[in-house]
């Protein structure tokens, strides 16, 4: 076959040291922007450097990554997340008791 595939478009991908549980998305963005500044200042032969990102689910109250399958409870990532889960349990308990 005349057509053949080859690997091209080589580039460097840098991941900041902020991917642990408990890190807020805004912290990741700040860390990446700092790395971009540092690369621009210190690294030769760079044609372009910029921050790229993906869509992700986060807790609306604290901004931490959504780590649970449950759509309402993120494992107690913050006081508000835990409080709402406790309230849901309490309501379910009251409903069960009144039946
Ligand atoms: Zn939270």
Over the stretch 3-41, which tens digit does the pLDDT of each residue have?
999 999 999 998 887 655 666 667 788 889 999 999 999
Residue 28: the pLDDT is 82
Query: How far, in Å, is the centroid of ligand 1 from the Cα of 69?
Result: 15
The dihedral through the CA atoms of 32, 33, 36, 38 has a sign that is: negative
At 45, phi and psi to the nearest 5?
60, 40
Q: How far is the CA of 75 from the centre of ligand 1 (A)?
A: 9
d(CA 86, CA 96): 15
CA of 49 to the centre of ligand 1 (A): 32
Cα 42 to middle of ligand 1, angstroms = 37
Q: What is the pTM of this model?
A: 0.55
Q: Is residue 44 a contact partner of residue 34, using CB atoms and an 8 Å limit? A: no
Predicted pLDDT at 19: 58
Tokens of residue 71, six digits: 């759509």
Strand partners, 64: 24
Tell me, in angstroms, the distance from the centre of ligand 1 to residue 19's CA.
16
68: nearest Cα among 54, 87, 50, 82: 82
CA distance between the termini of the chain: 72
Percent of the chain surpassing pLDDT 70:
92
Give 88 Cα–ligand 1 centroid separation in angstroms. 16
Ion ligand 1: residue ranges with CB closer than 5 A? 59, 61-62, 77-78, 81
**Which residues have CB under 8 Å from 55's CB, separation 6+?**
none
């Amino acid at each position: 076959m005349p057509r053949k595939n080859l690997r091209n478009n080589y580039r460097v991908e840098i991941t900041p040291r902020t991917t642990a549980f408990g890190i807020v998305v805004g912290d990741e963005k700040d860390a990446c922007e700092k790395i971009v500044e540092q690369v621009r200042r210190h690294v030769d032969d760079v044609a372009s450097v910029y921050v790229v990102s993906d869509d992700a689910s986060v807790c609306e109250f604290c901004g931490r990554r959504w780590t649970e399958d449950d759509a309402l409870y993120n494992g107690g990532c913050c006081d508000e997340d835990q409080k709402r889960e406790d309230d849901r349990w309490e309501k379910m308990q009251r409903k069960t008791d009144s039946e």
